[in-house]
Structure 1
Amino acid sequence: MHPFYGAVSEFFAEGYWWIGLLSMAMYLVFWAVVIIFAVKLFKKYFADKDIPAKIKDDSALTILRERYARGEINAEEFKQKKSDLLE
């Protein structure tokens, strides 16, 4: 529980009103850091794990897929050329 909940009139009377604001700001900073850290960990360990890096950004494989989609090559040629590219 927050330390300044409840009767805090003695803090306000003595000019220490800023302690409550400082405390709230520290809580906000703490949770922001925790959330940012959790998001970075999630991205590092769980994002795009099923797609190998060399397939993800391979322009030759993209061109090959486009040629297959347009009907320039058949399924057998596509499989052969894809296996050649991935070696």
Structure 2
Amino acid sequence: MHPYYGPGVQFWGQENAWWMWLASMLMYLLFWGVVSIIAIRMFRKYCVKAQYPTVKGDRAMSILIERYARGEIDSEEFKRIKADL
């Protein structure tokens, strides 16, 4: 049997190496946490945005509507610019 298995294990010459299970568990949690974060970010970057492409006219139209709502342009100019968009 391997010297690090079984009863009476002495890890690095220590009889009481109770902290090793805690360190091992934390390393596994850290590893899988980092892997999960990377996977989620890649999914959001490549899959979600690919399903919903952005339309460039939407931003211009929202700016036009905001300008009209603030009173910066009148209805004739609003209709003219809207027709161009």
TM superposition score normalised by structure 2: 0.54
Moved over 4 A (4+): none
Question: CA offsets, 1:57-76, max 9 Å, x none?
Answer: x3x321334449xxx355x9
Deviates more, 1:13-22 or 1:44-53: 44-53
Q: Distance in 2 between matches of 1:42 and 1:51?
A: 15
Gaps of 5+ in 1: 1-7, 83-87
Q: How does 1:1-87 map to 2 (within 5 A)?
A: 10-11=8-9, 14-49=15-50, 50-52=52-54, 54-55=56-57, 58=59, 60-66=60-66, 67=68, 72=75, 73=78, 78=82, 80-82=83-85
TM superposition score normalised by structure 1: 0.53
Higher CA-based Rg: 2
Gaps of 5+ in 2: 1-5, 70-74
Matched positions, count = 70
Q: Distance in 2 between matches of 1:53 and 1:21?
A: 51
Inter-CA distance 29–23: structure 2 relative to 1 (3 Å threshold):
same
Relative contact order, CA 8 A, sep 6+: which one is greater? 1
Identical aligned residues as a percent: 34
Question: CA offsets, 1:37-65, max 9 Å, x none?
Answer: 11111111123332326446x3x321334
Give the RMSD, CA atoms, in angstroms.
Answer: 3.4
